[in-house]
Structure 1
């Protein structure tokens, strides 16, 4: 797939080009979103939103970065927005339950298992993903893009629109925070 030609076809509104884009990038988008949200149903919804936004805004894509970098950036942004909305809904639900407005009890989601993790590592990975939920956004995104998606520091810097030094700092702090969080889970 020749990226400049694909971008040109997408910007001209060719449906077959969009199908090709989704086919080529659906796995990286879904895995990135899933790594951040840690909920399969939410990740499916957000991944769809990512491709809808790509379809709607491909005309503004200037080619200053790789297409994959742009997709990662949209996926990360959509994931974090989704998480913030969900967090606000949870806080509101707590207030509602405090005042007796709601009589349904909301439970924590079941244990999360990422499909890219080998079966023998599922228990350790579940603990790691649970600990990742406690990380600040920038650390969680950098860690997910590096350890789950395998992006280089430079690629992460481009996606997050920060310096490589910032990415190094985010990853360093993420590892420190994960060690503390995992030690507390034992």
Structure 2
């Protein structure tokens, strides 16, 4: 089934076409969401919301980009919406969550495992994703789409609805910011030796 045929079938409410769409895109949606929200259960929730929105709003798809680009865009938006809503909720409990019962400072351990990372590199990957999470929202999104999803600059521009030069600028700033963050952490860029 061509993309155009699939869109026509989706608009008619064809369940087999929708099932095919989910099968073709579920890994991409889940992995993109996981890279942004950094929690498996949240990524599953986002993926479910993405496909519900695709099903409900397929009539709004204009066809000015590939269907997968539109789905990426929805995935990024839903993932960032989840993070924003969590941040709003966390603000209320922020001060009390910093301290334990004996006024000791608490640190939430990062519980993040991306399916594309080898077992022996999980700890380093979790730390790297924690640093990526500290980037400004647009830089983080562009960086994840480039490095985790391996999209081209042109594809990232379409997903984020920006110009290619704006994406290049975001990625340049993201790399600079990550380099600064890496310098203050124990994790080092590839090829750089730890001091002995």
- Using the size of structure 1 for normalisation, the TM-score is 0.91
The structure richer in helix per residue is 1
Counterpart check, 1:29 vs 2:29: yes
Shift of 1:183: 1.5
Is residue 57 from structure 1 mapped to residue 57 from structure 2 by the alignment?
yes
Tell me whether 1:175 sits opposite 2:179 in the alignment: no
TM superposition shift of 1:96: 7.3
Aligned length: 179
| Structure 2 CA distance for partners of 1:118 and 1:71, relative to 1, 3 Å | same
Counterpart residue number, 1:41? 41
1:127/1:182 contact within 8 Å kept: no
Q: Indicate the residue corresponding to 1:13 in structure 2.
A: 13
Return the offset for 1:94. Answer: 2.5
Query: Which structure 1 segments of 5+ residues have no match?
Result: 99-105
CA contact (8 A) 2:39 2:111 kept: no
Q: How does 1:72-111 map to 2 (within 5 A)?
A: 72-94=72-94, 108=108, 110-111=110-111
Q: Kindly name which structure, 1 or 2, has the bigger radius of gyration based on alpha carbons.
A: 2
Contact 2:110 2:126 (C-alpha < 8 Å) held by counterparts: no
What's 1:101 paired with? none
| Residue equivalent to 1:102 | none
Shift of 1:120: 3.3
Distance (whole Å) between structure 1 residues aligned to residue 119 and residue 97 of structure 2: 39
* TM-superposed deviation, 1:118: 2.0
* Structure 2 Cα separation of the partners of residues 20 and 109 of structure 1: 38
Gaps of 5+ in 2: 99-105, 187-196
Relative distance call for 1:16 and 1:2 in structure 2 (3 A) is same
Deviations 1:27-65 (A, max 9, x none): 000000000011111111011000010011001111111
For residues 134-171 of structure 1, the C-alpha deviation after alignment (integer angstroms, 9 at most, x for no partner) is 00000000000000000000000000000000111111
